[in-house]
């Protein structure tokens, strides 16, 4: 059978996935307003994609401070928790499984995206050059603005950051999510702490690899304490270069982190490869080192075709593969892979913001029968 591995079952933590086709996290900026609350439309979108082995939700703010973009959902209010409970319920009703991606943007933000025009926070007070976020202006119009210079978090504030993850995980658990995924990728807060360029701290959270990775490890331990390590995954993106992120020691940090994942018993490692945002491709040597260091589930992601995904699993460097834009445009992606059917093309103009168009109206194969 073609795609034999990709379409075969796998266990992640205590979850049994019927296939290894994961839906990658995709920000769509369609949470209902006011309050960034997941809506009935959002529930419909995720339920349409319940054929995935596992859905990873769009990145979701763990606090107001963690927010950088207009209409991305949160998981810090009762209304948001109720909205997500409806989403998770809709996915479960279709026999799917869903993880919530926990997000703090750090410096990739602007006062307009914060409560009371607060200054965004980061490991160090270094503004991200050539980086914009989409916000609601004071006159009510929507648009892109250059990010603000952040303030450096005090050492005494970091336990509060960990608590934001804990509170969000408690809400995710109550909302019925099967897992949570700690977003330590794509140049946001946790990766800002890991990177040599954005972290210039002189306390125990800066300097050595161990120090720069410390906050991420503390977050993972705390989140695992709430929901169980077997229900926690993490996403990293070594070599990511978006949002002015540079890291002279990206590989060393990842290798150190992976040993900690093993110690804590984290269920999966999700690797966002540096494809869609630019950046050096991961070397074969690095992939193999990660594989050797980690015996949990590795999910690869980044411009994979079904055949490339099959080959990556076949060679053992990944156990599952996540698809972003292909899942966005093909609600029944797994069924299309199974039948060898052609794929709908994603429409970039409707990726971020808007309504049903380019969101819930991509046709499934059976719609045409």
Q: Is position 351 an interface residue for ligand FMN (rule: CB under 6 A)?
A: yes
Spatial separation of the C-alpha atoms in residues 308 and 287, rounded to whole Å: 15
Minimum distance from residue 345 beta carbon to ligand FMN (Å)? 12
Q: What is the DSSP letter of 297?
A: E
Single out the residue of 30, 61, 235, 338 in contact with ligand FMN (rule: CB under 6 A): 235
Single out the residue of 53, 302, 331, 358 in contact with ligand FMN (rule: CB under 6 A): 302
Max CA pair span of the chain: 63
User: Which span (3-11, 22-30, 119-127, 198-206) binds ligand FMN, by CB under 6 A?
Assistant: 22-30
Q: Is position 183 an interface residue for ligand FMN (rule: CB under 6 A)?
A: yes
Q: Is position 204 an interface residue for ligand FMN (rule: CB under 6 A)?
A: no
* 302 Rama sector, left if φ>0, alpha if ψ -120 to 50, beta otherwise: left
- Helix 209-227 with 250-264: angle, nearest 10 deg: 30
Site for ligand FMN in 29-58 (CB under 6 A): 58
Q: Is position 127 an interface residue for ligand FMN (rule: CB under 6 A)?
A: no
* CB nearer to ligand FMN: pick between 25 and 74: 25
Q: Is position 121 an interface residue for ligand FMN (rule: CB under 6 A)?
A: no
Minimum distance from residue 130 beta carbon to ligand FMN (Å)? 19
Q: Is position 254 an interface residue for ligand FMN (rule: CB under 6 A)?
A: no
Minimum distance from residue 154 beta carbon to ligand FMN (Å)? 27
- State both tokens at 32: 């209902």
Minimum distance from residue 273 beta carbon to ligand FMN (Å)? 7
188 is catalytic: yes
Report which of 88, 91, 66 is spatially closest to residue 77, judged by C-alpha positions. 66
**Angle subtended at Cα 121 by Cα 245 and Cα 256, rounded to the nearest 5 degrees:** 50
CB < 8 Å & 24+ apart, contacts of 256-259:
256/209, 256/210, 256/213, 257/184, 257/194, 257/213, 257/216, 257/217, 258/290, 258/293, 258/294, 259/293
Choice among 45, 46, 188, 359 that is catalytic: 188
Task: Report, as residue numbers or ranges, the catalytic residues.
Answer: 188
Query: Where on the chain is the footprint of ligand FMN (CB under 6 A)?
Result: 24-27, 58-59, 101, 183, 185-186, 235, 272, 275-276, 301-303, 323-326, 351
């Amino acid at each position: 059978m073609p795609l034999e591995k990709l379409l075969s079952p796998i266990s992640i933590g205590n979850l049994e996935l019927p296939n290894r086709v994961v839906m990658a996290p995709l920000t769509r900026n369609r949470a209902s307003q006011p309050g960034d609350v997941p809506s009935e439309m959002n529930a419909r979108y995720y339920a349409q994609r319940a054929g995935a082995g596992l859905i990873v939700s769009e990145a979701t703010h763990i606090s107001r401070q963690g927010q950088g973009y207009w209409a991305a959902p949160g998981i810090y209010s009762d209304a948001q928790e109720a909205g997500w409970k409806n989403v998770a319920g809709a996915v479960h009703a279709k026999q799917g499984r869903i993880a919530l991606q926990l997000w703090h943007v750090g410096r990739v933000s602007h006062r307009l995206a914060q409560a009371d025009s607060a200054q965004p926070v980061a490991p160090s007070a270094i503004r991200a050059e050539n980086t914009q976020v989409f916000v609601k202006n004071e006159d009510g119009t929507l648009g892109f603005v250059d990010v603000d210079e952040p303030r450096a978090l005090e050492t005494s504030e970091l336990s509060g950051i960990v608590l934001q993850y804990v509170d969000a995980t408690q809400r995710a658990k109550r909302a019925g999510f099967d897992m949570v995924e700690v977003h330590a990728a794509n140049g946001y807060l946790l990766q800002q702490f890991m990177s040599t360029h954005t972290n210039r701290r002189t306390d125990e959270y800066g300097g050595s690899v161990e120090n720069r990775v410390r906050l991420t490890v503390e977050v993972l331990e705390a989140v695992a304490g709430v929901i169980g390590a077997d229900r926690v995954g993490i996403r990293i993106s070594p070599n990511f270069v978006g949002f002015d992120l540079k890291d002279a020691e990206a590989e060393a940090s990842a290798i150190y982190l992976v040993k900690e994942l093993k110690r804590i018993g984290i269920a999966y490692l999700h690797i966002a490869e540096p494809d869609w945002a630019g950046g050096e491709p991961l070397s074969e040597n690095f992939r193999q080192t990660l594989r050797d260091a980690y015996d949990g589930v590795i999910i690869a992601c980044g411009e994979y075709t079904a055949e490339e995904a099959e080959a990556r699993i076949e060679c053992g460097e990944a156990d599952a593969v996540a698809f972003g834009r292909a899942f966005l445009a093909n609600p029944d992606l797994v069924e299309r892979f199974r039948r060898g059917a052609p794929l709908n093309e994603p429409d970039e103009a409707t990726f971020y913001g808007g309504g049903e168009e380019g969101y819930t109206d991509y046709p499934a194969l059976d719609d045409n029968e």
